[in-house]
Structure 1
Amino acid sequence: MNTTSPRVALITGAGSGMGRSTADVFLNEGWHVIAVDVTAPEFNGHPSQVTPLVADVRDRAALEEKLDGVLPGIGGEIHAVANIAGVYPPSTLDSYTDELYRLVFDVNVLGVLNVMAAAKRSMPEGSAIVNFASVDGYHVSPGQLVYGASKAAVIMVTKATALELADKKIRVNAIAPGWVNTPGNAATGRMDAAAASIPLGRVAQPEEIARWAWLLTGSDQAGFMTGETVTLSGGDVIR
C-alpha cells in the first residue's frame, strides 16, 4: 500500500446503520472515508477525513465518473471497500413482483459488482474488499424470498471475485450478519422476538459488525483470508 498518502476506504450505505458504524470505525482508525449513499452523509466530527459521494450503486458509469473526480485529491488509491448498501423488502412466492425482484437484485447484487469493478481500478496490492451478505443467504427466513436469494448471490460473487482478484493480491470476503439493531430492522417491530430467538439473547449492535468489516479489510489480521464468509448471528443459525 501507498503509505505516503492517507489510507482510503470506500464505504457504501454510509449514511446510517451498519454503513455509518463502519465509516466511524475507519475514521477513528485514522483512515479517509469515501462515504457513498443516495443522499449526502454528514460526518460533523471528521470533516477533513470524509469525502461524501452521492451515488446510486446501480449506475456503474456514474460511480466510476464520480470516483475519478475525487480520488486525485486524496492520494489516488482505494485500500479498502465495504459494500454495505442494500434493500430488504419482504417477499414471498405469492407477493413478489418483477419490480421488487429487479430492485433487490439491482441494489444488492449488481450494486456490489459495480462498486467492486469501479474500485478495483484504483486498488493496489494488499487492498481488501468486504461484501455484506446475510444469514438469509443460506438460512431460510420466512417472508424474505427475494432478499435471501440476493444475499446467496452475494456469497457466491464474493467467492468468484476472490479467485479472480487473487493474482492482484486483493482479498475479497463477506460478512453474513443476523439480526442487527439498525433503524430498518427496528421498523419491522420484530426486534424483541428476534432477540428472544437468538441463543445469546440479544441482537447485534452495528458497531460489532463494523469492527469485523475493519478486521477483514483495514487491519493486518486477515491477510491470509479470502473468499470466506463470516457469520455473525449470535448463534441463531445453529439451532
Structure 2
Amino acid sequence: MTALGILYPGHSGEDDYPRIEQLLGSNVRVDLVHTEAAGDDGLGADPLRAMGTPARLEADVAELRLAGADALVWASTSGGFLHGHDGAREQIRTLARMAGMPASSTSFAFVHAVKEIGVRRLAVGATYPDDMAALFAEFLRSAGAEIVSVGGTGAGVGESAAWGESELLALVRAADHPDAEAVLVPDNALLTVAHLPALEKHLGKPVLTANQVAVWEALRLADRRLNAPELGALFTREPLVQA
C-alpha cells in the first residue's frame, strides 16, 4: 500500500481526492489533511503566501507523518508560486525536513508534469486575477517553459468551486492557443477530475489540473507510476527515456 499525504487548504475542491483514489486502485491511499485556508481575503497574495508557512502547517504535517504517508504534497498552487521559484523551493525543503519524507507542492507538480509529458509550449487557464495568473506564468518560465497564452478570470473561490463541465470547458477553450502543446489549470479549488477526459477530447491536447498533478507528484515522490486513463494524458504516458 502506498500512502499519499495531501495538505489541502480549506474546503472547496477536496472531493477530487477520493475520486482519484478510487480511479488509482486499491493499493493507493490518499490521506488528505485540511489546513487553515486564507480566509475572507482569499484572493490576496499575502494571505495566500501565509497559508504555506511552516508555523501554519507544522501540526498538519505531523498528522500526515503519524498516518504513515510515504510522500507529501502541499496542495495550494498559489500558496507555492507566490513565493517565487526560490521561495517555493525552500518551502518544500522545509516541509520535507518537518515531515521526514519526500515533499513537494502543486506549483512544482505542474513543472514536473509538463516535463513528464514532454511538452514546453503552454497555455494557462487560471481563475486568478490577471496579476496572479502572470506570476504563475513567470514561475513556469523560470523552470524553462514557454508560455504562449495566459488567461485569468478573477473568480472567487466560492464561485469557481461550484463550476461544472461547461464552465471548465469555457475556461480551457478561452485559454488555449494554436501553439500550445498543453493547457494548465492551476486552481486546487476547482473540481476537475471527473471532466478531464472531456476537456482533453475537446482540445485534442493534454490538460493538466491542480488536484490531478498534486496526486501524480505524490506518486512520483513515492516512486510509483500508474496507468489510469480516466485521469488524463498525464496518467497514460510512459515515463520519458532520458538520453
TM-score range, shorter chain: 0.3 to 0.5
Higher relative CO (Cα under 8 Å, sequence separation at least 6) belongs to 2
Could you say which structure has the larger radius of gyration? 1
Please report the TM-score for the alignment, with normalisation by the length of structure 1: 0.43
Using structure 2 for the length normalisation, give the TM-score: 0.42
